[in-house]
Structure 1
């Protein structure tokens, strides 16, 4: 087989390498072309050198090109994969820093909450640019695979306004299933059969069977509470399981910021989170982790390049959906996964226009969703709160409507639990002004926002958050990795 895959945001070096090697684990895909594109020539050069080394070491006919000209990369592409972060870590730092001034403590801030909503405002205009180029220069039947957050908002905009065949992809379901299999004592995650459905980052394991045996809520609660690690790292997640009756796909830290109950008071935050790793609830945890990862990669790049000389091992193929979807579409080997698509009747008690994440099967006829799923009422209610925020956020981004943007942020569950309307109005003005270089649709609103900020009497505070850790130096990271290696 010979076709072209374009990767937008290919400068996300580690993730691009994973997608690349996964895809090349499919025997029929050795003769394809990868077209890499990014706004950073520096990052492009680094990832191309790594992928070229992989091709050379494995004696493959695979072609790798790299360009900052996006349309050139997309020309004739059958599949387009996006893993962009518009504004990079600079804008992301403001997604965390500015809401903290108003008492809003986020762990990740890339899905909803104040940070995720502004992230969507930066991404959506760019997503629509991608879609325009796909319609104009890509293969006639091109499929857009979106890995970028905020997943639901990006996918919603691409489908509804970009008019491109789009599917959103995430690995939260797989990771949650691996946890459940582990606590239940399974020898392999493959022993666990499940139905997981909802919206991205709020997906729920509504049916569980281990080797064909149904698993009850009580058995699952007991298994998690008895686990020596997860009982400490997933306290909030286990509490939601007890109250809702089903387990959420999302990590302790992620789940905490989609709900109005656990991060509303600083003294409550430390009760529910765990500081052993960023993903369990640390203030700005993913920002710290991303910053450290970038610094580590820049410093240790020669090691990454050397590691690329190893043979590709299909046994190490990851559970990221992309390679499996492409394999199913191109070879007709059926793949079952969980995909972000427009609802259209898949989940009976969520809105038809919402972007849901639910089980589906892929073959040469495309992605076929399992329809007619009904969520437990509490799960649907929690999803609905986020869907309403997502819908307003998408519409605001499309129209450049700062008033609707403020209403979207006001209706966010955690923001609403912490901030007053006056605080929300000022916070959004401050974020739009700070990020104006990435928000072209709000250019007309920036002067008035600056004027309001100059006269505002709403008080703020400089606050690091309830559970903040400093970014570690390269030397500290090296020492920690050495200690872990010695211990293991």
Structure 2
């Protein structure tokens, strides 16, 4: 008989989520070995209550093998009390602040395809996210110090880094699915180049090293095949046209690309860039993001915030129907690994996957303590990052610049040090070309647009906002 673990408690911070929460419900319902309770906490209690209704409806369905009780709460202490796992997936601020992150820099000729990790948008988003994560970390320390904490919020690196800065003993890591997509791409490559079908992306074994959304693979294999030479041939074949499983499909989704940026980076550095083109482009000088026309040439997209607003509204409307019992959603695996991670930490299986954790030597030539992304082995109550090795010196230089900026942004947020934050801001590869004077004007505008979420030390007239 298969072992089962009952009475597991998951605290979901951001439990009013219109996307991630549904993926969790799906995957929990399809996992027969675990059952328990999910406490949904959100600053928008009604959204959490709707999700609780949906979760309980899903759990009642006969095809739901995993049985869970969902409860909504506006009290984070109640959500965290006795939690075995804490999942964090929040939107820091609103779409208004996100619109500023992404679109304010366009007036200065800076284009961003995502705007949530690096670049001017990623940095300003971090400055308003870090205070939220300080508070979350303090609550976890007080009410759930032994829980495993799984972060999905971006900027992934700085969210995870903040948790450890506040609570060094926390058992936390960040999860990102970008590497999964590259495994799928490599599986497609194996099929095309060798005729051998790859049943699961997990059968593509990769060594991962870097920082979130600027992660690299220096070793890849499938069964007895070294994939690095094969990938070189694949890149040569598709460097100019790009590769898609269904040709032309990148045009139809703002989240899709033809992998041309990824292939160009391989030709530059000799390693497989293990993230989507939209993320990768933002870490580089404006080679790929020079203009909207240049973005189209590279066959990826700028993701406008108005698209996200409309997409969110569609999700809200659909979820209202599901909560009211007017519509069902199909129970199918989400492709995420959150529930597999929980199963591994409960001792039900062993899992190797990529995680974001403080560097304790897993990447030899990046700073100790900085949050890095590598594989880890997950077993009962254990997440052990693997020794991934060293980055090539040219990539080390690129990545170290971002690591230094992220550490400066963290320190600036904790100290409310405007000058330090600006110094990091202007050191970003997308910002540096516009010069100090324009960078100062852009920084001032973006800080003004997010002033209600950052400390008073960031605002020129401190007294005007000190009580907010």
Q: What's the TM-score, normalizing by structure 2? A: 0.87
Aligned to 1:245: 270
Matches within 5 A, 1:218-229: 218-222=232-236, 224-225=238-239, 229=244
Aligned equivalents of 2:225, 2:320: Cα separation in 1? 49
1:210 aligns with 2:215: no
SS class of match (2:459): helix
Aligned equivalents of 2:330, 2:120: Cα separation in 1? 43
Aligned to 1:465: none
The structure 1 residue matched to 2:459, chosen from 440, 445, 450, is 445
1:260 aligns with 2:285: yes
Aligned equivalents of 2:133, 2:327: Cα separation in 1? 31
- Residues 433 and 449 in structure 1, CA contact (< 8 A), matched pair in contact too: no
The structure 1 residue matched to 2:206, chosen from 174, 183, 194, is 194
- Residues 208 and 388 in structure 2, CA contact (< 8 A), matched pair in contact too: no
Distance 1:308 1:136, change over 3 A: farther
- Residues 386 and 412 in structure 1, CA contact (< 8 A), matched pair in contact too: yes
1:129 aligns with 2:135: yes
Distance 1:310 1:152, change over 3 A: closer
Deviations 1:331-366 (A, max 9, x none): 241011000000110011111121111011111140
- Residues 80 and 140 in structure 2, CA contact (< 8 A), matched pair in contact too: yes
Aligned equivalents of 1:369, 1:237: Cα separation in 2? 25
Aligned to 1:38: 42
CA RMSD of aligned residues (A): 2.5
The structure 2 residue matched to 1:421, chosen from 427, 431, 436, is 436
SS class of match (2:283): coil
Aligned to 1:322: 338
Aligned equivalents of 1:249, 1:53: Cα separation in 2? 37
SS class of match (2:19): helix
Deviations 1:122-164 (A, max 9, x none): 11111111111111112x4112111000000111111122332
Larger RCO: Structure 1 or Structure 2 (Cα < 8 Å, ≥ 6 residues apart)? 1
The structure 2 residue matched to 1:84, chosen from 71, 86, 90, is 90
Q: What's the TM-score, normalizing by structure 1? A: 0.83
1:170 aligns with 2:186: no
- Residues 10 and 39 in structure 2, CA contact (< 8 A), matched pair in contact too: yes
Cα offset, 1:309, TM superposition? 4.5
Between Structure 1 and Structure 2, which shows a larger proportion of helix residues? Answer: 1
1:395 aligns with 2:411: yes
Which shifted more, 441-450 or 19-28? 441-450
Cα offset, 1:304, TM superposition? 4.2
Aligned equivalents of 1:192, 1:133: Cα separation in 2? 39
SS class of match (1:347): coil
Distance 1:405 1:238, change over 3 A: same
The structure 2 residue matched to 1:299, chosen from 317, 322, 339, is 317
- Residues 128 and 161 in structure 1, CA contact (< 8 A), matched pair in contact too: yes
- Residues 429 and 449 in structure 1, CA contact (< 8 A), matched pair in contact too: no
- Number of matched residues? 437
Matches within 5 A, 1:106-117: 106-117=112-123
SS class of match (1:64): strand
- Residues 262 and 268 in structure 1, CA contact (< 8 A), matched pair in contact too: no
SS class of match (2:430): helix
